[in-house]
Structure 1
Amino acid sequence: MKTAPIVAIAAAGGLIALSAGMWVATQWGRGDDRFAQCRAGAVAGDIGGPFELLNAAGETVSDADVITEPTLLYFGYTFCPDVCPMDNARNAEATDLLAEAGYSVTPAMITLDPARDTPEVMGDYVTNFHDKMIGLSGTPEQVDAAAKAYRVYYKINDPDEEFYLVDHSAFTYLVLPGEGFVDYVRRDVTPEQLSERAACFIDHM
């Protein structure tokens, strides 16, 4: 894992990282859930789904192109002064811990600020965290559709200002090929805890 630069932004206020609780879905408590022992929590309703975005080369990619192995999916933006760098660094460290234990996963980040985070910007940004990390951008409509699919809250503040901030929820989603979304982690989860939980899900695929 490489050291990520933390962007210092002189602006009033700060990033609001929402960490509102999520309710446990009744159906996920049933005995036919093979992942039940891996879950520390679950969300009610449908989370995740298909998306089309742009990779670092500016090519249109779908969720099937991106999620080819267990994926730690995060929504944020490159101008984020503190939360996003820390969360991405945590996900990158968990990726390395899993690799040491024999598991291959991909960390990925979808921007919530496509106006500034072009495909090239995203590609440069994610390489600061991990060689495997995928950075995704797209049109505002594509980004919004992906965010809504994962129930991500975000709000662009004062977009006419040069150093505007984006309020957003701060969860990392574990997505498995052939399964889709299976779990989420809050930002207070450590790399060790994240890697252990992800390994449990992978073992039960």
Structure 2
Amino acid sequence: MQLTRRGALGGAALALALSPARAQSAIGGPFSLTGGAGQSITSDNFPGKFLLIFFGYTHCPDECPATMYQLARALAEMGAAARRLQCLFITIDPARDTPAIASRYADLFSPDIIGLSGTPAQVAQAMQAYHVYAAPAGPQGGEITHSDFIYLMAPNGSFITAYPGNLPAKTLAARITPAMGGA
């Protein structure tokens, strides 16, 4: 289990959720968030696409940008297979990460990654659906301890698997492509 800043609670919850008997139904679900231009983005906006979803925040000093960099490189490494999926960055910090900020942040890494935010309730609902752990930021903001899994979802919305956020791009690409049924 991988947690940024080495938190522990989210990993235990995800380990339970990823048990073979519960994995297919326990992770994921519909979400409604906001894109950079103010448009509503839901889980239904990507028919026929696999979703690759990473939860993080733009003020993260190390793990989030490193994971986003590896995600962007993995998409490039996948070549034509990447056209079958949509990569999403969903903030865990809607107080600081407006939709425009989340969108610009994602775009810094790749135009193929969509950055999303929303109201605190919308973000909390998405985090709950994906069993994302995040400790609250202090009153002055600062770093947030959070889980850093990358979720692969099937076009029908079902959970396929989760990858640790610290995987190198080549390894990530080599695992995603076969999980989507090959090229």
- Global fold match (TM > 0.5): yes
Q: Higher helix proportion, which one?
A: 2
Instruction: Write the distance in 1 (CA, Å) between the matches of 2:65 and 2:49.
Output: 23
Instruction: Report what 1:81 is aligned to.
Output: 61
SS in 1 for 2:69: helix
Counterpart of 1:55 (choices 29, 35, 42) is 35
- Quickly say closer, same or farther: Cα 1:201–1:89, change in 2 above 3 A: same
Instruction: Report what 1:96 is aligned to.
Output: 76
Give the TM-score of the pair, scaled to structure 2.
0.85
Instruction: Report what 1:25 is aligned to.
Output: 19
Q: 1:70-94: CA deviations, max 9, x gaps? A: 2220000000000000001111111
Instruction: Report what 1:16 is aligned to.
Output: 5
8 Å CA contact 2:35, 2:41 repeated in 1:
yes
Query: How far 1:155 moved relative to its partner?
Result: 1.5
Instruction: Report what 1:6 is aligned to.
Output: none
Structure 1 stretches lacking a partner, 5+ long: 1-14, 29-42
Instruction: Write the distance in 2 (CA, Å) between the matches of 1:114 and 1:157.
Output: 11
Instruction: Report what 1:187 is aligned to.
Output: 165
User: For residue 125 of structure 1, what is the amino acid of its counterpart?
Assistant: Y
Instruction: Write the distance in 1 (CA, Å) between the matches of 2:164 and 2:123.
Output: 21
Instruction: Write the distance in 1 (CA, Å) between the matches of 2:55 and 2:82.
Output: 23
The number of residue pairs the alignment matches comes to: 174
Structure 2 stretches lacking a partner, 5+ long: none
Instruction: Write the distance in 1 (CA, Å) between the matches of 2:88 and 2:25.
Output: 23
Q: 1:5-33: CA deviations, max 9, x gaps? A: xxxxxxxxxx62547362553448xxxxx
8 Å CA contact 1:72, 1:91 repeated in 2:
no
Q: State the identity %.
A: 32
Instruction: Report what 2:90 is aligned to.
Output: 110
SS in 1 for 2:177: helix
User: For residue 177 of structure 1, what is the amino acid of its counterpart?
Assistant: P
